[in-house]
Amino acid sequence: MQGLSKDIVAAALRSAGFHVIDLGVNVSPEKFVDSAIDEKAQVIAISVSVNETVPYLKNVIELLCKKKLADSVKTIVGGRAVSEETCKEYDIDAFAKDAGDCVKKVRDLLSE
């Protein structure tokens, strides 16, 4: 997640009892996936606020598939530059419109 909204989402997830690893801003697809492996993450959450970075979502999904993690590590996105349609286009598991929605969607993803 990016900037202030990233921090709000991280705080909401933490207050809901989730363990959150904040990788910061301008994170490469490789860093998302490598960190997910290192931390044994169940979910990767990405905030995309600039249209030019949307295509990098494809790289995250491709790396998860390449490492045979696409079924065990769920993905969720939020931010100004993404939507439900983005999720369908890039095979992202969920879209969150705000921090509260992110908490709900992460709970849903983990209960699948």
pLDDT in tens, 23-56: 998 999 999 999 999 999 999 999 998 999 999 9
d(Cα 28, Cα 97) in Å, to the nearest integer? 22
Q: Taking phi first (over 0 means left), then psi (-120 to 50 degrees means alpha), and beta for anything else, what does residue 40 get?
A: left
Locate the DSSP E strands across the chain.
43-47, 74-78, 94-95
State the pTM of this model: 0.92
Strand partners, 76: 45, 94
Each domain of the chain, given as residue ranges in start order, spans: 3-111
Whole-number pLDDT of residue 4:
60
pLDDT band at 5 (very low <50, low <70, confident <90, very high): confident
Fold assignment, 3-111? Rossmann fold (3.40.50)
Q: How many CB atoms lie within 10 A of CB 50?
A: 11
